[in-house]
Chain A
Amino acid sequence: MTIQEAAAVTDVQRADVGDYIIILEKVRKRFGDFEALRGITLRVKRQEVVVIIGPSGSGKSTLVRCINHLEKHDAGRIVVDGIELTRDIRNIEAIRREVGMVFQQFNLFPHMTVLDNVTLAPRLVRKWPREKAERIAMELLERVGIADQAHKYPGQLSGGQQQRVAIARALAMQPKIMLFDEPTSALDPEMIKEVLDVMRELARSGMTMLVVTHEMGFAREVADRIVFMDAGLIVEEGTPEHFFTNPQHERTKLFLSQILHH
């Protein structure tokens, strides 16, 4: 191993990308015969909240999952916080440290308590001592309103509580970006609000967020920008104002009429 390579292990190369924390250029992804992403170009600024909407199968989730390399993109470029997403595992892990993710199915670790769920990654990846990890975990659990459940197991919590733990778990890594992949789609209606409240607060605190959701109220209120996708392409994007009052494309109008007047 040369000295340059040794240095690269700890500090991957970062490009100067100015204000853009996420850059996607002509990103393509196919699953067998199905083309999920057909050339996506998108730039996200620091502290921006971008909500991605679109019919199911339009590629929203795939797009988000490509950003932290849960899916490998086939073509195009992805640069996150100046780090280019390549096949290099060091780059992938460096990006994953900066990007938190919240899943539709929560994906909490069922064999660990809530507190262990939240402290695990900081202790293993950030090498924090237990005391520090637990102190910060408790602050985060306080922030999402479930500090009193810290010593329970995920299976003992409601869906809404589990999703709030999942948010705290992602935040514990102190990420620069948070990805949300339909975070409220698996929840009972009465629990959606408690999760959206946490996300609202997070957006206000200045976190860069990329949110896939069907919650139009949340999109309208919180988003800086809304991106509408269909069949693997970005059809239209703009401010919520523009988007809900004056959509340009027929496909967007159709989708909005279906989702708002069902």
Chain B
Amino acid sequence: MTAQANLSSDKKSPPAILEWMKENLFTPWYNAVITVALAALIFVVLRALFRWALYEAKWEVVLVNLRLFAVGPYPEEAFWRIWVALGLVGALAGLSWGAWGGRNWAPSVVAGVLGAIVLVLPASPNVKWPLIGVLAAFILTHVASMGRSRLQRPLVWGWVLSFFVILVLLKGLGGSQVLADVPTSKWGGLLLTVLLALIAIVASFPLGVLLALGRRSELPVVKLFSILYIETVRGVPLVTVLWASAIILPLFFPKGVRVDNLIRAMVGMTLFSAAYLAENVRGGLQGVPRGQYEAAYALGLNYYQAMRHIILPQALRAVIPAIVGQFIGLFKDTTLVAIVGLLELLGIALSVIAQPEFIGLQREVFIFIAAIYWVFTYAMSYSSRRLEARLGVGTR
């Protein structure tokens, strides 16, 4: 492209960009018509949107309730625990970027710029300094670990461990002074959304893989169970599963045993997601040629070894886009737990616009949470593409 552009600018003098536009946007004549029409449409839509966003929208509703959107009714005296959790994630992210990303300063520079922006923003010091602390944790660990690929294996365990550490941090320990128990009914907002999605993803992944293997198993009972499970769950809408786990499930437990509402929702989402994941993984397994199984077995590998080292790595790699697509769906489906009374991001939004002083401001609130969902889902699909590119080595 650039070579071409250079060539044309050497010959005559219309700037390369005009040349490119003429070739790609205005030739032949009907392309020109389409270009002009679409440009006009985009202009009209964007102008209306910007005019509304800048002059008419009352963004106070978002600013005033920012804390609610972030964590819901989580008690203020325990906020430091969320910040510590974020700091832990920031440090792990920094280390990971350093260990896998090679000698690349860009992530640290971006984090530094973000920190500078936070510094000059008129935010409350209760938010400003912890946020800068999280960014600093990221930058420090990133710089310290750049290019150290030996950290990769310990880091995987670090992430697994941090998952439980964070849960304990947020939930607290019953009877502890420092980490007082925070009932899950006090969890909300983006915090709850992310936790729900994360736990459902982490828990449903191994379950889905097992179900996929089960469905292809030669043991009739295992196979039958897997098929029954997958087909039953896939035949039922998620809302139904959530209702079932919230209302029907307690009937099976002895009186007095109360299963936490949040845990029921998590179990429901996990079981639901596992069935879909199993079908995605099965698609990947079917794409692995028979010869790969035969070569593995002929070398003396047993079933577990063949799956773990030969079959699953190839099968999962082939279905990364499908799996990430499913996880993106799962992230957005967390909104459905609002139905069983949990105040995740959408639940909070609904409760905010129900307040008398914010009546008529649905538009602002929904656009705001839509933007949050978009940022998270786009980050997921972006990392999926990066992951694919990374794992593409040797699969030509």
Contact = CB atoms under 8 A, between A and B. Distances in A.
Contacts of B292: 107, 109
B125 interface: no
Contact of A110 (B301, B309, B394): B394
Contacts of B291: 103, 105, 107
Nearest to B311: A109
A154 interface: yes
A173 B300 contact: yes
A83 to B, nearest CB: 13
Interface residues of B, number: 22
Contact of B299 (A105, A120, A153): A120
B104 interface: no
Contact of A108 (B295, B305, B309): B295
Interface in A54-99: 68, 70, 89, 93, 96-97, 99
B394 A124 contact: no
Interface string B310-345: 100110010000000000000000000000000000
Contacts of A156: 394, 396
Nearest to A65: B294
A113 B298 contact: no
Interface string A211-233: 00000000000000000000000
Nearest to B302: A93
A107 B394 CA distance: 14
B393 interface: yes
Contacts of A99: 298
Contacts of B294: 70, 101, 103, 107
A111 B299 contact: no
B295 A96 contact: no
A7 to B, nearest CB: 19
B394 A155 contact: yes
B394 A121 contact: no
Nearest to A169: B299
A170 interface: yes
B314 A124 contact: no
Given A111-B314, A153-B393, A125 B295 contact: no
Contacts of A103: 291, 294-295
A155 B314 CA distance: 14
B300 A97 contact: yes
Interface in A165-206: 169-170, 173
Contacts of A68: 297-298
A96 B394 contact: no
Contacts of A121: 299-301
28 contacts: A70-B294, A70-B297, A93-B302, A99-B298, A100-B298, A100-B299, A101-B295, A107-B289, A107-B294, A109-B292, A109-B296, A111-B313, A111-B394, A111-B395, A120-B299, A120-B301, A121-B300, A124-B305, A124-B309, A125-B305, A153-B396, A154-B394, A156-B394, A156-B396, A169-B299, A170-B298, A170-B299, A173-B300
Interface of A: 68, 70, 89, 93, 96-97, 99-101, 103, 105, 107-113, 120-121, 124-125, 153-156, 169-170, 173
